[in-house]
A and B are shown apart, each in its own frame.
Chain A
Amino acid sequence: MSGFADNWRKTLQEVLVEQGVISETQLAEALRKRHRSGAMLVEILVDEEYVAEKDLAGTIALNYGWPFLDLERYDIDDDLCRTFPPGLMRQYGVIPVERIGDAMAIAAAGRVTPDIISELEDVSGKRVFVYVSTLTQVRRMLARLPDSGRPRGRSGGSSTGDDPTDP
C-alpha cells in the first residue's frame, strides 16, 4: 500500500522525484524539453531514457492505485475507438480499452487528472476508469486512430506546452 492514500493528490513530477525514479536535475531538464517540444512529460522521460517505460508505468500504477494492463494481451474492440474524438484521445494520450454497461475503462501512459476524467465522462456518458499501460503500447494504439485533426506533440501532447496528463 505504498502510498495510494498519500500519493493520489501529488503530481507525477512530485511522485517520480520522491520515489527516486528520476533526479531533480533530470526533471528540470525534462521540463525544459517539454516546454520546447510540447511533448508529454512521460514521453520525454522515456525517449531520453531517464527511465524505462515499464518502470515508469509501474511507478504510476503503484502510486496512483491504478491497475496495469498489457494492451498486447487484451483484445480491444475496434468500435471502442469511436467513443471519443481522435483528437481528444491524442491530446490526452488515452485509449478506450473496455466498455461494460455504465463503466468505461481507458488506458494511459501517464497520470490522468480528475479534470480529464470528468471531461471523458461527459463525452462518453459513462463512468471512466483508468488503466496504466506502457508508452509504446499507447502510442501504437493511438497511431491506429483515423487521422482527424492535427496531432499536438509527438504522440499528441498539448501544443500549449503544458502536460495535460500532469498539470
Chain B
Amino acid sequence: MAKFDRKLLGILVKQGVVDESDREDILEEAPETNCSVTEYLLNTGRATEEQIISAVSVELNLPPIDLAKCRVADDVLELIPADIARHYTVFPITKVGKLLTIAIADPMDILIQDDINIVTGCELALVVSTDVAIRNACDRWYGDGEDTSSADSIDDLDEPYPGDWDGKKRDATLRGPRRRRPPLTEDEMAPAKGLAWYLVEDGVIDQAGADGALDYHRRFDVTFKDALTMRHKVKESDYIVTLVRSVGTRTGVTYVDLLEERIDHEAVKELRAGFCAARKVAPLSLNGDVLTVAMSDPLDPKIEQSLRRQTRRSIVYRVSRDQHIAERIRMSYGKTDVSPIWLCKDDGLNLTDELYGTKVVEREPKREDVPREPGAETRKRYALVVGIDYADDVHRQQGFGRLAYAQSDALQIAERLSSPPYGFEVLPLVGRDATLDAILDVFKNNQLRADVPPMREEDQFLIFFAGCGEAVRAEGETSYVLHPYNGAPGMTDGSISMELLGRLLQGARYTTVRAGQCMCVLDACRPVGARGDRTEGCELDRESARDMEAVVGSGLEHRTVQVLFGCDFGQRSWEDATLRHGVLAHHLLEALRDPPEGMTFLHLVRRLTTLMEGWEHPERPGTRQKPRLFWDNTEREIALL
C-alpha cells in the first residue's frame, strides 16, 4: 500500500488537491497514524473523498463511482471472495457477458487486475473509488468480518452457485450481510502443511513456493491445490501423485479415473448440484450408509466441513482431476457448470497407470515422437530488444552506474536476430526509448508496433534485456527488478519485477502477449550504483528468481516459456572491456553465428553455455559467469530455425 500511497499523492499534487510542500509530511505522518494516505487526508480534512476520486479519475481517464449508491447483485458479489476484495481493495459492481465492472483504489497496479482476472475469469472494466469507500462497501455487502459464529461459506448459506438451476436467486438487498470467512486455524492447516512437506521433498515445488501457497490457502477462500496450481504453476498430475503416494497411504485417499466409473444416481441425490460445482466434488457411489465422493482437494478442511453439513452419511474420499470432476458434475446434474478458471489443465498423463499400474508412464515425450507443431508453417517471429547504458545526467543524479556496452549489445543482437536465417521482426528499444511504458506497450497491445501484425498463438516472441537489474527489498519482500530507462536504483516502482515479467510472458489475459512460444534473455545483472566499483554487478539469488521459476511451465494458456538469465545463482553478469561487450551478449552473438539445421532455443543455450565456460574475468582470476536456463522439460522445445 505504501507504493500506492506514493502514487496517489503524486496524482493529488498534480491535480492541485495537495500542495507539493505537504507531500513528504503526509507520507511520513500517515503511517505513524496507521492510516492509508486517503484515510489520513480525510481524517485531517486536507482533502475530501470527492476530490480524491475526481483527481484519480481525471488523471487516469477512468470513470468515477460512488459506491454508497450501488446495490450489488448476489451473483456479482460472489465473483470476488470477500477476503480477496479486501486484500486487493477492489469491489465488484456489475457483470454483463464476460465483462466485470469493478471499483478499484489502485488502477495503476496491473498485477491486481491480473489476479482478479484469474479469480473471476472475466474481462475487467475499471472505475475509480477510494480504499476507504471500497472497505466500507465490502463491510456493507460482504459483512464486517466480525460475525463468524456460524455459517461461513457459500454452501452453508444454502444458495445455489453459480447458476440458478435449483432455486431463484435472492436479491442482495433482501438479506443480511454476508459473513466473512475467517482464516484457517493451525489445525485446519495441518493436512496442507503435511502435503507441502512431501511436495518439497519430491521437488515438485521449492520451500518458498510451498510457503507462499500455504499462506494464500490460509488467508483466502482458495484450496491448497488451487493455490499451488494457479499461483505457483504446480502441475495437477504432480499434486495428485504426491498426494496419493504420501498422505494418501495414511489417510486412504486413492485416485479415481471418473471417466471409467458409472454414475450412481442414488449417490447423486445426496448432494446438491450447486454445492458440487462450487466445491469441485462429484458423488461416486452410495453403499448402505457410505457415500464415496471424488474431490479436487480431499485435504481441504472447509470442503470436508461443508460435506458433513450436506449429508449425514459416512464419507469416503477419493481424488480426481478437475476436468474429470467438472465433466462428471455436468453428466450427473445436467446444466451445472464449474467455473472454468479454477480448472487445472489436463496434461493427459494416465494417472491410474502412474499410481497403480505395473508400467510407469514416461513423462517426457521423446523428441523423435513429437509431431510437427501446428501452425509451424505460418509462424512469425517477433523480438523486443532492450539496451540501456544509463549514461544520461538523470541517471547520474539517481545514482545509476553507467554501462559501456548494453546499448551497442542490444543493437547488434537486434541486427543478428532480424537477419537470415532467423528472420525475427525486431523492435529495438535503446537508451531513452526504453521506458517502462514503451516496454509494457508491446505486451498490452500484443504487437511490436502499430505497423506490425499482432502476435498469434503459433508465433514466437523473444525479449532481450541488457541493462541494470538488482534485488530490491520493499514492503518486507525481496524482488529482482529490471530497470528501464526511467527506473530508479533501489526502487521497484517504475521497474519490471520478476513477478511482472513472469506475468507479461505467461500471465493472465491482461498483461500477456499471445505468442505461444516465448523466450526471455536477461543480461540484467550488470552494475547498479555509481558509488561502488562500477564493475560490480548484482548477484542473482534464489529468492529473486523464484517468481520466474514459478511461471515457467504450464500456465493458464497453452504456452511455452523459457527464460535465460545471464548468470547462475550467486554469480554476477559482467561487461568485459577486452571483448567490448557484455559477457553474455558477446557469447550469444557467437552462439547465434552459423546455426545448425533445426536449432532450438535449448540448443542455443547449450552452445552459449559451452562458449561461456571458456571465459574468465580478465582482472579477477577465478571469476566466471554461466547462464542459467529456466524451463519446463516436459514442454515442447522452441525451434529457432
Q: Which residues of A contact B (CB under 8 A)?
A: 1-2, 5-6, 54-55, 57-59, 61-62, 65-70, 73-76, 98, 100-103, 105, 127, 129-132
The answer to whether A103 touches B126, judged by C-beta atoms less than 8 angstroms apart, is no
Q: Does B72 contact A (CB under 8 A)?
A: yes
Point out the residue from B54, B61, B101, B510 that lies within 8 Å of A101, measured CB to CB: B54
The answer to whether B64 touches A68, judged by C-beta atoms less than 8 angstroms apart, is no
Per-residue CB contact flags for chain B residues 63-96 toward chain A (1 = under 8 Å, else 0) read 1111001111100000000000000000001111
The answer to whether B97 touches A58, judged by C-beta atoms less than 8 angstroms apart, is yes
Q: Please give the distance in Å from B543's CB to the nearest CB on chain A.
A: 31
Q: Does B99 contact A (CB under 8 A)?
A: yes
The answer to whether B123 touches A2, judged by C-beta atoms less than 8 angstroms apart, is yes
Q: Please give the distance in Å from A4's CB to the nearest CB on chain B.
A: 9
The answer to whether B54 touches A67, judged by C-beta atoms less than 8 angstroms apart, is no
* Residue numbers in A under 8 Å from B126 (CB-CB): 67
* Residue numbers in A under 8 Å from B95 (CB-CB): 68
Chain A residue with the shortest CB-CB distance to B450: A5
The answer to whether A68 touches B53, judged by C-beta atoms less than 8 angstroms apart, is no
The answer to whether B73 touches A73, judged by C-beta atoms less than 8 angstroms apart, is yes
With A68-B125, A98-B66 already in contact, the answer to whether A1 and B509 are too (CB < 8 A) is yes
Point out the residue from A5, A54, A101 that lies within 8 Å of B53, measured CB to CB: A101
The answer to whether A67 touches B63, judged by C-beta atoms less than 8 angstroms apart, is yes
Q: Please give the distance in Å from A69's CB to the nearest CB on chain B.
A: 6
Q: Does B445 contact A (CB under 8 A)?
A: yes
What separation, in Å, do the CA atoms of A127 and B61 have in the docked complex?
A: 9
Point out the residue from A55, A70, A103, A132 that lies within 8 Å of B58, measured CB to CB: A103
Point out the residue from A59, A75, A129 that lies within 8 Å of B57, measured CB to CB: A129
Q: Please give the distance in Å from B142's CB to the nearest CB on chain A.
A: 17
The answer to whether B64 touches A103, judged by C-beta atoms less than 8 angstroms apart, is yes
Kindly identify, within residues 407 to 461 of chain B, every residue whose CB is under 8 Å from any CB belonging to chain A: 444-446, 454
* Residue numbers in B under 8 Å from A102 (CB-CB): 54, 58
* Residue numbers in B under 8 Å from A98 (CB-CB): 63-66, 69
The answer to whether B94 touches A69, judged by C-beta atoms less than 8 angstroms apart, is yes
With A1-B444, A129-B63 already in contact, the answer to whether A75 and B69 are too (CB < 8 A) is yes
What separation, in Å, do the CA atoms of A107 and B73 have in the docked complex?
A: 19
* Residue numbers in A under 8 Å from B446 (CB-CB): 1
Q: Does B62 contact A (CB under 8 A)?
A: yes
Q: Does B388 contact A (CB under 8 A)?
A: no
Residues of B within 8 A of A (CB-CB), count? 36
The answer to whether B96 touches A105, judged by C-beta atoms less than 8 angstroms apart, is no
What separation, in Å, do the CA atoms of A54 and B94 have in the docked complex?
A: 12
The answer to whether B64 touches A65, judged by C-beta atoms less than 8 angstroms apart, is no
Per-residue CB contact flags for chain B residues 149-175 toward chain A (1 = under 8 Å, else 0) read 000000000000000000000000000
The 4 closest A-B pairs by CB, nearest first: A101-B54, A58-B97, A129-B63, A67-B125
The answer to whether A61 touches B96, judged by C-beta atoms less than 8 angstroms apart, is yes
The answer to whether B94 touches A100, judged by C-beta atoms less than 8 angstroms apart, is no
Chain B residue with the shortest CB-CB distance to A99: B64
Per-residue CB contact flags for chain B residues 382-410 toward chain A (1 = under 8 Å, else 0) read 00000000000000000000000000000
Q: At the interface, is chain A mostly helix, strand, loop or mixed?
A: mixed
Q: Does B127 contact A (CB under 8 A)?
A: yes
Kindly identify, within residues 321 to 344 of chain B, every residue whose CB is under 8 Å from any CB belonging to chain A: none
With A102-B58, A103-B57 already in contact, the answer to whether A69 and B93 are too (CB < 8 A) is yes
Q: A5-B445, A69-B101, A103-B63 are in contact. List 7 more A-B contacts (CB 8 A).
A: A2-B123, A68-B125, A69-B93, A69-B94, A73-B70, A73-B71, A102-B58
Q: At the interface, is chain B mostly helix, strand, loop or mixed?
A: mixed
Per-residue CB contact flags for chain B residues 92-112 toward chain A (1 = under 8 Å, else 0) read 011111110100000000000
Q: Does B43 contact A (CB under 8 A)?
A: no
Per-residue CB contact flags for chain B residues 21-65 toward chain A (1 = under 8 Å, else 0) read 000000000000000000000000000001101110110011111
Q: Please give the distance in Å from A106's CB to the nearest CB on chain B.
A: 9
What separation, in Å, do the CA atoms of A69 and B295 have in the docked complex?
A: 38
With A73-B73, A75-B69, A100-B50 already in contact, the answer to whether A105 and B99 are too (CB < 8 A) is no
The answer to whether B97 touches A105, judged by C-beta atoms less than 8 angstroms apart, is no
The answer to whether A74 touches B70, judged by C-beta atoms less than 8 angstroms apart, is yes
Point out the residue from A62, A73, A100 that lies within 8 Å of B66, measured CB to CB: A100
With A1-B509, A74-B70 already in contact, the answer to whether A68 and B54 are too (CB < 8 A) is no
* Residue numbers in B under 8 Å from A59 (CB-CB): 97
What separation, in Å, do the CA atoms of A5 and B58 have in the docked complex?
A: 20
* Residue numbers in B under 8 Å from A68 (CB-CB): 94-96, 99, 101, 125
The answer to whether A105 touches B55, judged by C-beta atoms less than 8 angstroms apart, is no
Chain A residue with the shortest CB-CB distance to B117: A1
What separation, in Å, do the CA atoms of A134 and B127 have in the docked complex?
A: 18
Question: What are 26 A-B contacts defined by CB distance under 8 Å?
Answer: A5-B444, A5-B445, A55-B97, A57-B96, A58-B96, A58-B97, A59-B97, A61-B97, A61-B99, A61-B101, A67-B63, A67-B127, A68-B95, A68-B99, A69-B94, A69-B101, A74-B71, A101-B50, A101-B51, A101-B53, A102-B58, A103-B54, A103-B64, A127-B58, A130-B63, A132-B96
The answer to whether B54 touches A100, judged by C-beta atoms less than 8 angstroms apart, is yes
What separation, in Å, do the CA atoms of A98 and B129 have in the docked complex?
A: 13
With A73-B72, A105-B64, A131-B63 already in contact, the answer to whether A100 and B97 are too (CB < 8 A) is no
What separation, in Å, do the CA atoms of A5 and B96 have in the docked complex?
A: 20
Q: Please give the distance in Å from A7's CB to the nearest CB on chain B.
A: 12
* Residue numbers in B under 8 Å from A73 (CB-CB): 70-73, 94
What separation, in Å, do the CA atoms of A62 and B99 have in the docked complex?
A: 6
* Residue numbers in A under 8 Å from B127 (CB-CB): 67
The answer to whether A54 touches B69, judged by C-beta atoms less than 8 angstroms apart, is no
Q: Please give the distance in Å from B178's CB to the nearest CB on chain A.
A: 17
Point out the residue from A55, A67, A127 that lies within 8 Å of B101, measured CB to CB: A67
* Residue numbers in A under 8 Å from B510 (CB-CB): 1
Chain A residue with the shortest CB-CB distance to B512: A1
Q: Please give the distance in Å from B211's CB to the nearest CB on chain A.
A: 32
What separation, in Å, do the CA atoms of A58 and B65 have in the docked complex?
A: 19
Chain A residue with the shortest CB-CB distance to B445: A5
* Residue numbers in B under 8 Å from A129 (CB-CB): 57, 61-64
The answer to whether B97 touches A62, judged by C-beta atoms less than 8 angstroms apart, is yes
What separation, in Å, do the CA atoms of A88 and B446 have in the docked complex?
A: 39
What separation, in Å, do the CA atoms of A101 and B64 have in the docked complex?
A: 10
Point out the residue from B51, B63, B94 that lies within 8 Å of A70, measured CB to CB: B94
The answer to whether A54 touches B65, judged by C-beta atoms less than 8 angstroms apart, is no
Q: Please give the distance in Å from B41's CB to the nearest CB on chain A.
A: 14
The answer to whether B509 touches A58, judged by C-beta atoms less than 8 angstroms apart, is no
Chain A residue with the shortest CB-CB distance to B63: A129
The answer to whether A58 touches B94, judged by C-beta atoms less than 8 angstroms apart, is no
What separation, in Å, do the CA atoms of A98 and B123 have in the docked complex?
A: 23
The answer to whether B72 touches A127, judged by C-beta atoms less than 8 angstroms apart, is no
What separation, in Å, do the CA atoms of A65 and B94 have in the docked complex?
A: 14
* Residue numbers in A under 8 Å from B94 (CB-CB): 67-70, 73
* Residue numbers in B under 8 Å from A2 (CB-CB): 123
What separation, in Å, do the CA atoms of A105 and B61 have in the docked complex?
A: 11
Chain A residue with the shortest CB-CB distance to B17: A101
With A74-B69, A100-B50 already in contact, the answer to whether A66 and B64 are too (CB < 8 A) is no
What separation, in Å, do the CA atoms of A27 and B51 have in the docked complex?
A: 44
The answer to whether A65 touches B96, judged by C-beta atoms less than 8 angstroms apart, is no
